[in-house]
Structure 1
Amino acid sequence: MSNNSITKEALATALKKLLEQQPLSKISVKHITDYCNISRNTFYYHFKDKYELINWMFYTDMLENVNSFNDPSKLTESFVKVCKALYAERKFYFACFQYVGQNSLFESLYEIYYELWKINIDMGYSECGFKLSESELSLMAKLKAHALVGIIKDWVDEGMHDNYMKYFEQIREILDSESLGYSILSNQRMMEKRAEEFDKNPIRKKNLKVC
């Protein structure tokens, strides 16, 4: 592990320990650096504030525990896994989710899902032979990103209990059924293209008449 990674891990551990004693709003950068005997200058070399530290902790956690986290083609599957990973560390994440301002974990989640949905939606429509405009793609990605983050926010507001896990699975099934629709439409589009190619091929049409 590099020195940078060791320093970041030390800051992350300090924040986790401090959150066991007091809310995030009461914890300052000085509290974090004093806890792990690291200078404030070193903290600001790695992170601009405690919220960026939290976002780094979240992203690192997801990459380690959800192997499909940043794979647009497995977005619905990874969503459930992300929620399970959040639940596994719910005390920490519940405390972090209490902040909803700029650079918050909610904001970071939205940005991540927005980019993943843009790629996912574009792939789905491209397979069907359709090309969305950038504004259409952006709008659809915003709608879906807001939907997923909004569901997570509802879960947090209700205490992040495990009874939501079945709900997350239902959401995955709904989103997967939409993906199945893309597949059916893609196959239909492919058959239509083959029919068009056949109609344009005079040799094939002539052979068909001979038969």
Structure 2
Amino acid sequence: MFKDRTKELFAEALEQMLLEMPLSKVKVKDLCERVGAQRPTFYYHFKDKYDLVAWIFERDFRSGMGEVPPDAGLQARTEAALNRMWQRHDFYRKAFADKSQNSIERHIQDFDVKMGETAVKRHTGAKKITEQQLFDIKSQSYGSMGYTVEWMRGEVHATPAQLAAWETERMPAFLREAYEATGYYGELG
């Protein structure tokens, strides 16, 4: 519980700092000063500021998914996650503006692909997915995540419900079935 509260304090400080400056200008030292913590405390919880941004994304994603019961279906849960993110679109626009090697886009992409792989393995009982399945998962993820980033930046005009419908309708059947059957949407670290 205390560990989560510490993470929340760093998240709140980062969000405040992003009102004043781009993510590229945020320094861990300054985050720690705002929280009243030592740098080792930050590094106990996060690798760097991008890891903190990734944690915020995962927290929001799961919080949105958790608002809807698993039996409501993938589209409803996806819509809830997108709604949660849209409520905080000012934060995400600033986070997505960063194009560094450790950017949030890269993290979300990795998170999404890993989540798909794990759901399929759990559903099929396989230890490994096929190359074709990996290709299909990545194709779905790259298109979906790229479009979601454009939506978050305000470049796409759609509601969370429309975007969720598009994402689930175009998802490979085996992947949609795995998510529906397992209810797996990743673990929050």
Q: Tell me the TM-score normalised to structure 2 length.
A: 0.74
> What root-mean-square deviation, in Å, do the aligned CA atoms of Structure 1 and Structure 2 show?
3.2
Find the counterpart in structure 2 of residue 100 from structure 1.
Answer: 99
Match of 1:135 among 131, 135, 154: 131
Structure 1 stretch displaced more, 102-111 or 89-98: 102-111
1:78 offset after TM fit, Å? 3.1
Query: Please, which moves more after superposition, 151-160 or 103-112?
Result: 151-160
Structure 1, residues 3-60: CA drift from partner, whole Å, max 9, x if none? Answer: x222211111111111111111111111111111111121112111100011111112
Shift of 1:65: 2.7
Structure 1 match to 2:66: 67
- Mapped to 2, the partners of 1:93 and 1:133 lie a distance apart of 32
Structure 2 counterpart of 1:144? 140
> Which has more radius of gyration?
1
**SS of alignment partner, residue 117 of structure 1:** helix
CA separation of 1:68/1:108 partners in 2, compared to 1, >3 Å: closer, same or farther?
Answer: farther
- Percentage of matched positions with identical amino acids: 23
Q: Is the contact between residue 9 and residue 35 of structure 2 (CA under 8 Å) also seen in structure 1?
A: yes
Structure 2, unmatched stretches of 5+, are 178-189
Runs (5+) with no aligned partner, structure 1: 127-131, 183-211
Larger helix percent: 1
The superposition leaves residues 52-75 of structure 1 with CA deviations (integer Å, 9 ceiling, x where unpaired) of 011111112222232289x7x954
Distance change >3 Å, CA 113–CA 78, structure 1 → 2: farther
Going from structure 1 to structure 2, the CA distance change for 1:44 and 1:120 (only over 3 Å counts) comes to closer
Judge conservation of contact 2:65–2:78 (CA < 8 Å) in 1.
Answer: no
Residue in structure 2 matched with residue 13 of structure 1 by the alignment: 12
Aligned with 1:175 (options 170, 173, 187) = 170
Native 8 Å contact 2:113 2:141 kept in 1: yes
Q: Per-residue deviation at 1:86?
A: 1.0
Match of 1:81 in 2: 80
What TM-score does the superposition give when structure 1 sets the normalisation length?
Answer: 0.67
Whether the 8 Å contact between 2:10 and 2:35 is mirrored in structure 1 is yes
Q: Would the aligned equivalents of 1:115 and 1:141 in 2 still touch at CA under 8 Å?
A: no
